[in-house]
Structure 1
């Protein structure tokens, strides 16, 4: 497998080059979980993988609970669907709790307090109420549980891991919490082995080619669990390729029906959001870096995945958006001078983002 083939497969499997999906919930389901701590950019990450979807469309899906935002996998925010959230939390919560245990002890938070808070939070949210974190903290204070900013953050994360709360509809620009069972359909607990196999299947289908170590780091699971999950996948659905001495797993087919071929006629240039799965889905990200030396007059720093310009699947610069009056302005900062074809691709990528952000589809 060549570097070009590896990138082509990822662009197709991640639904960036082309997509068969039409709605935010469909793409989130395909990706199974999408990192979402930078909310505005995570909405763009969804729309990037769809056609003609605006920021308003993604916001509507979020407010209606068609996609949810919670902590799972690694201890950070992710978008998930109501169908997947239960088994994902069941599978990954123990690892997240292990990571958070030290900080909980440091903050003086223990299980009895979490249980008491969970009961009070449940009562406060019953009946379809959606409350901000500050409003929930005020409710806890009325029950003689004073919490500082860090403590309430950890209490709410534990409530997420305990399947007490998940994201509610936004109030203006403020996030809220809603009762988990009022936003998520009931389902029988999924056996751990089944959940592990399902996560592996969804990960390698949507992000392949990827290594088992990529899967382990992305999921927050141990390497042993990652190997077990990969081993449980159907050999008729996946195959292995070697690139630079590493073994990669990828699906024979994706939803578009593309089978083991290079992608030459599809879009491979775009404005990548912060923390997008095209970068964050892998521990080894070297394939998307351009080996060409950055010119001395480069104007911005190069923080990894801070709004990167992707040209032909490779990072070629960074970008930022600002509001000047009522107008959205997108500034681009290529690492080097782009040729005519690359410049045209970048202009189209900027236009696509502006259409998304200004609801021009």
Structure 2
């Protein structure tokens, strides 16, 4: 029972069976098309029932997102859309998770990995130990950081326009190494909202925003400290890269 709607288990079973039938053969259908099929099968679709049917099927691993069609999301059978993979043991899975994390987030601490992964401290330590021969350790401000061997190149001196919720900030429990704590409220708030920020030489130094008028993109930039302000050359280059990215999309 959810939101005042009582849906018996046998109805969920009928829905799951129907979804398996109508989506079979690598088909993708929209919610509206699903609703038509439910009606044809005599399954109630009033209120928010269809959303509950789909949510239950997703939770049970029957359906997943399909390819968007005409700007609308679709659903597909997960067994047809997701390629089969070899089942991993817990140790293998932990090692793979640690490898993927530190190859894309180095340098990072044990606390960062726990924060990002949701693992227990013991599990995180085991995962790090499993790939220890690929990690380099370093001490910085009384903390131990791990760096994957593939991530030892120096940080460039160009500016990057990072979007809201970028992994550069959101993936770490302690963000003080790249952002002065006094400026935290300018990068994210206590309710978990993150803002677009400027990255320069490894540090977050300001905010940026864009506005599109009559097809033209206007970019506004602000710096946290006067000393953080950079020359127009690197800033203009960053704007040009962003504009090119938008055009290619």
The reply to whether TM is greater than 0.5 is: yes
The residue aligned with 1:100 is none
The total of aligned residue pairs comes to 243
What is the DSSP-based 3-state SS (H/G/I as helix, E as strand, rest coil) of the residue aligned with 1:271?
A: strand
The residue aligned with 1:76 is none
Q: 1:120-168, CA deviations, whole angstroms, 9 ceiling, x for partnerless residues?
A: 332332222222345435544652255628x82x654554454323332
Cα root mean square deviation, aligned:
3.5
| Alignment partners' CA distance in 1, 2:36 and 2:225 | 52
| Alignment partners' CA distance in 2, 1:107 and 1:268 | 55
Question: Is 2:133 the counterpart of 1:248?
Answer: no
The residue aligned with 1:130 is 28
Matches within 5 A, 1:84-99: none
Distance verdict in 2 for CA 1:301–1:252, change over 3 Å: closer
**226, 232, 237: which is aligned to 2:130?**
232
The residue aligned with 2:109 is 211
What is the DSSP-based 3-state SS (H/G/I as helix, E as strand, rest coil) of the residue aligned with 2:177?
A: helix
Distance verdict in 2 for CA 1:133–1:312, change over 3 Å: farther
Instruction: Mark the structure with the bigger radius of gyration.
Output: 2
TM value normalised by structure 2: 0.79
Q: Which has the higher contact order (CA 8 A, sep 6+)?
A: 1
| Alignment partners' CA distance in 2, 1:290 and 1:343 | 23
**292, 308, 315: which is aligned to 2:197?**
308
Distance verdict in 2 for CA 1:195–1:301, change over 3 Å: closer
| Alignment partners' CA distance in 2, 1:106 and 1:156 | 17
Distance verdict in 2 for CA 1:253–1:128, change over 3 Å: closer
Is the 2:223–2:229 Cα contact (8 Å) retained in structure 1? no
Q: 1:239-289, CA deviations, whole angstroms, 9 ceiling, x for partnerless residues?
A: 3222222222212234xxx4xx6x26x255200012111112211112221
The residue aligned with 1:331 is 220
What is the DSSP-based 3-state SS (H/G/I as helix, E as strand, rest coil) of the residue aligned with 1:288?
A: coil
